[in-house]
A and B are shown apart, each in its own frame.
Chain A
């Protein structure tokens, strides 16, 4: 079967750096996406990696290693508003189907 594994919960301190890991096992792989979802809200797109390496967008960075079937989302200078759930998702075919991880709840303490 197809699966994505990510930690269920991560706790960090405001102003710190946190890394959320994602390992995947899928029948096809076109790229790895990351989405943020606040409680009661809709997922919003953060980043996408199709090739190995690090992509940086402001305080957020995302990394992919296709040989290891692994990626991570790095959040720097954490702010209280970053408290949310973060989902990794793999694009498995050309029709933009996504297989989703169960999500990581990020708890930020003052």
Chain B
């Protein structure tokens, strides 16, 4: 049982480049989330989804887009990367109280 899997684990982008972060869960959870974590801060919600085909904005959605075409996958896209998007990104899924996290993607934008 893999749980929540994120790819890639590390990535360096140049300013203006685009990329997609992939998140897959095998627990049949309805709810999925994308967070970013910056040093000395808690997790901030970027976007979330309450089910297949639905997405919603979180606290810090600007510069990101998401899609949930299949229940098990939640994709996070950066259209034009900026240095301010340098962060660790976590995907999580939940069916209720407990959220299960992927191992994170460390993204650096230079």
User: Interface size (A, Cβ < 8 Å)?
Assistant: 22
Complex contact B103–A101 (CB within 8 A): no
Given A43-B90, A44-B101, are A89 and B42 also a contact pair (CB < 8 Å)? yes
**Considering the chains assembled together, what is the distance between the CA atoms of A31 and B94 in angstroms?**
15
B74 at the binding interface (Cβ < 8 Å): no
**Main DSSP-derived SS at the B contact region:** strand
**Considering the chains assembled together, what is the distance between the CA atoms of A20 and B31 in angstroms?**
29
**Considering the chains assembled together, what is the distance between the CA atoms of A8 and B98 in angstroms?**
24
A58 at the binding interface (Cβ < 8 Å): no
Complex contact A87–B58 (CB within 8 A): no
Complex contact B99–A100 (CB within 8 A): no
Give me the interface of B with A, judged by CB distance under 8 Å: 31, 40-45, 48, 50, 56, 58, 90, 94, 96-104
A27 at the binding interface (Cβ < 8 Å): no
Chain A residue with Cβ nearest B96: A96
Give me the interface of A with B, judged by CB distance under 8 Å: 4, 8, 31, 33, 35, 41-45, 48, 87, 89, 91, 95-98, 100-103
Residues of A within 8 A of B40 (CB): 8, 102-103
**Minimal beta-carbon separation of B87 from chain A (angstroms):** 14
| CB pairs A–B below 8 angstroms (11 shown) | A33-B97, A33-B99, A43-B101, A48-B97, A48-B98, A96-B31, A96-B97, A100-B42, A100-B43, A102-B41, A102-B42
